[in-house]
Structure 1
Amino acid sequence: MAEDDPRILVSTEWLGAHLKDPDLRILDATTFLPGTGRDARAEYEMTHIPGARFFDIDDISDHRSDLPHMAPTTEKFMSRLRAMGVGDGHQVVVYDTHGLFSAARVWWLFRLMGQGDIAVLDGGLPKWQEEGRPIEDMPPIVRDRHMTVRRQNHMVKDVTQVSAASKLGDHTILDARAAERFRGEAPEPREGLRAGHIPGAHNVPYTDLLNADGTMKGTEALRAVFDSAGADLTKPVITTCGSGITAAVINLALARIGHMDNALYDGSWAEWGAFPTVPVATGEA
């Protein structure tokens, strides 16, 4: 169960107690990997937590980039959230239908934009429904709300910065992909990408940070996962994954154990694996 922190992670009990708070805003941030045949928005429209808005990760992104769902400009983020009725003074809770998967990406994105009052719902919609808590299919009543955005550029890294960190060893690089992909033993789901990992990176599959029910492990168990992966948390951390979604689960876990000096490599393997001039390692870290 989450140790409730409205800036990191809250339990279904916490959300149930605060569901009718006037300044609470709930976001469904579900997204599905290509090829699943599932439509996140359609599923949201059929079933969501009362009052929830749908946060479309692919729409609220930088469409000038060929890479998937890169962080949007501050102007686009502000305009989209204002249209959703989310702004200054709101406590935001974000969830997804997996349990804990893409919700962490939106939590990180809000923090990138200088918004601190946001938490992930521990266990997401599955836990909420298993407990028999209310759901609805009605669209929320939306009123515009101004949002002040102050982009925190230190929270995101590009390929040049990650390449330098890999060479210098002055950051700990943590890769959230499954072990087989990290080692280069399994093909990448996106065509044209090399197999393997960033040299010097350590593998922390995001699923290792979760309990069987999709909730996040407790602080001591999280520290044990990082220790077993050989992650030196005395250094700043850069997280990475396939396309910048599950990397944010590591950022969330780091925040939960009090490690705030971390950033996310937004291009992740979708960029590194296609970039011809950067090296690729295979096998164990």
Structure 2
Amino acid sequence: MKRVSQMTALALALGLACASSQAAEMSQALTLQQLQQKQGAAIDTRQSAFYNGWPQSLNGPSGHEPSALNLSANWLDKMNDEQLTAWLQTHQLNADTPVALYGNETDMQAVKSRLRKAGLHQISTLSDALQQPSRLQRLPHFEQLVYPQWLHDLQQQKSVTAKPAGDWKVLEAGWGAPKFYLMSHIPGASYIDTNEVESEPLWNKVSDAQLKAMLAKHGIRHDTTVVLYGRDVYAAARVAQIMLYAGVKDVRLLDGGWQSWSDSGLPVERGTPPKVKAEPDFGVTIPAQPQLMLNMEQARALLHRQDASLVSIRSWPEFIGTTSGYNYIKPKGEIAGARWGHAGSDSTHMEDFHNPDGTMRSADDIAAMWKQWNILPDQQVSFYCGTGWRASETFIYARAMGWKNVSVYDGGWYEWSSFPKNPVASGERGPDSSN
């Protein structure tokens, strides 16, 4: 009996010591200046919308701490250990790197637990996080990437940051009939088929006259704010980019698409699209922003220049010519002189640009990825892919990042490869090949 008591006492003592040690560690906190002196990294554990610049309350601070990384607690159940290790390697964090977390207590604890499991030892909290609004960094146009709760609040007629100036509409974009939309969609959303904005044989955008008819049908003027989402983000981005070309001044994308709404647990509805009153007077001549869409000769003029980049948003196997990426595109290869802007594992994925929850990856990560291929914000930059969808998604991200001279080469590889005299490259190569 005595022996059991002694063991119990020892266990209690060890438990108290452990708890005391954990409490002491949790109480450790660094200011941003102290963290920088230690050459450490700040980690924002909030969702990416707040990291990007959306305030958590109507008049709250906007953005993230200087050079902070975003590792949202919401991603943890979507990241296995290998993916977290890859994230740490990408951001050059190792066991001895001091890191300081900020966000709410629950999120910080969750992230801290995973980081400790991944081998990081020096983990503290950032004591002065979000206390000095003037030093915070944000996407220059974070409002162009909306998040579910913002959209829900707008629909509920609550006060929101970056409220549309006038009339607004929500549209789900997808290819073909609205079969998934009919089963479940964002309340009040209409549906737009991508066939309304692009057509065969090359899947280039439809004529300006057809765009005018499409916009009239959906009740959209140049001063209507349009919020687009899709089961595939790049389907909505394709429609968004073409609407901007036409002249709709305020087009926004639901960051992460339908999946982000579904994950949020917000209300959904089913059934057919609501009846929309046609708006035949668009209000400006189409296209109001023709510079946003390049043709083949304009794209060719960007090649082999230091002040411009024609950027391939295709998978590496597509870029080096081991696959065309599409069953309806036979030629393999790439536009000779194009710079590789990354994409994903194949022609239907965009992992290189996405957080684990499908939202836009941080602007710093994207800019660093592009810089390796000499794709820079002060250049004239035009994105292309096979037929325009992936290119449109990166166009929207670059625009939100504040890149001023960006466009989409509409025809992409499908059009370029259909002209045998156009120069084509294939095989393994690096950034120097595009100079």
Query: Where does 1:202-241 land on structure 2 (aligned, <5 Å)?
Result: 202-206=339-343, 207=350, 208-241=352-385
Under a length normalisation based on structure 1, what TM-score does the superposition of the two structures give? 0.88
Q: Which amino acid aligns with 1:238?
A: S
In structure 2, how many angstroms separate the alpha carbons of the residues matched to 1:168 and 1:219? 24
Check if 1:79 corresponds to 2:234.
no
Letter in 2 for 1:200: G
Matched to 1:134, the amino acid is P
1:116 aligns with 2:260: no
Matched, 1:275 2:410: no
What CA distance in whole angstroms lies between the structure 2 residues aligned with 1:40 and 1:176? 27
Partner residue of 1:244 out of 388, 409, 413: 388
Match of 1:11, as an amino acid? Y
- State how far apart, in whole Å, the 2-side matches of 1:7 and 1:114 are: 18
Computed over aligned residues only, the root mean square deviation of the Cα atoms, in angstroms, reads 2.2
Taking the aligned partners of 2:241 and 2:207, their CA distance within structure 1 comes to 14
Match of 1:128 among 241, 261, 283: 261
Displacement, 1:169?
5.7
Tell me the percent identity.
28
Structure 2 CA distance for aligned equivalents of residues 280 and 13 of structure 1: 46
- From 290, 294, 308, the equivalent of 1:171 is 308
Which of 146, 165, 171 is the equivalent residue of 1:10? Answer: 146
Q: What letter is aligned with 2:195? A: D
> Could you tell me which residue of structure 2 aligns to residue 23 of structure 1?
167
Q: Name which structure has the greater RCO, CA cutoff 8 Å, separation 6+.
A: 1
Give the match's secondary structure for 1:101. helix
Q: Secondary structure at the match of 1:275?
A: coil
Distance 1:6 1:144 in 2: 30
Task: Map 1:17-166 onto structure 2 (within 5 A).
Answer: 17-20=153-156, 23-31=167-175, 41-61=178-198, 63=199, 66-68=201-203, 70-98=204-232, 100-138=233-271, 139-145=273-279, 146-149=281-284, 150-151=286-287, 152-166=289-303
Which stretch shows the higher mean deviation, 113-122 or 138-147? Answer: 138-147
Structure 1: runs of 5+ lacking an equivalent: 32-38
Q: Is the 8 A contact 2:170 2:190 kept in 1?
A: yes
Q: CA deviation at 1:266?
A: 0.5
Alignment deviations for residues 37-88 of structure 1 (CA, whole Å, 9 cap, x no partner): xx55211122211111111111333x5x6211x2222322222222222224
8 Å contact from structure 2 (residues 311, 338) kept in 1 = yes
Change in Cα spacing, 1:86 to 1:114, as seen in structure 2 (3 Å) is closer
Q: How far did residue 198 of structure 1 move?
A: 1.1
Deviations 1:114-161 (A, max 9, x none): 112110000111110111111112322312233224412211111122
In 1, the alpha carbon distance for the partners of 2:187 and 2:151 equals 11
Question: Whole-Å Cα distance in 1 between the matches of residues 299 and 403 of structure 2?
Answer: 19
Structure 2: unaligned runs, 5 residues or longer: 1-47, 55-140, 158-165, 344-349, 431-435
Q: Secondary structure at the match of 2:394?
A: helix
- Of Structure 1 and Structure 2, the greater helix share is in 2
Distance in 2 (CA, whole Å) between partners of 1:192 and 1:75 is 28
After superposition, the C-alpha distances for 1:158-191 in whole angstroms (9 at most, x for unaligned) are 1122223225565201111111111112243144
User: Higher Cα Rg: structure 1 or 2?
Assistant: 2
Q: CA deviation at 1:102?
A: 1.5
> 2:429 matched to 1:284?
yes
Report SS of the residue matched to 2:174.
Answer: coil
Deviates more, 1:19-28 or 1:209-218: 19-28
Between stretches 116-125 and 79-88, larger displacement belongs to 79-88
Separation in 1 of the partners of 2:304 and 2:312? 16
Tell me, in whole angstroms, the C-alpha distance in 2 between the residues paired with 1:54 and 1:85.
12
Deviation at 1:233, TM superposition (A): 3.0
* TM-score normalised per structure 2: 0.59
Q: Does the aligned pair in 2 maintain the 1:159–1:272 contact within 8 Å?
A: yes
Give, as a single letter, the amino acid of the residue that structure 2 aligns with 1:45.
L
- May I ask how many residue pairs the two structures share in their alignment? 274
Distance 1:260 1:53 in 2: 31
The CA distance in 2 between the partners of 1:160 and 1:179, in whole Å, is 25
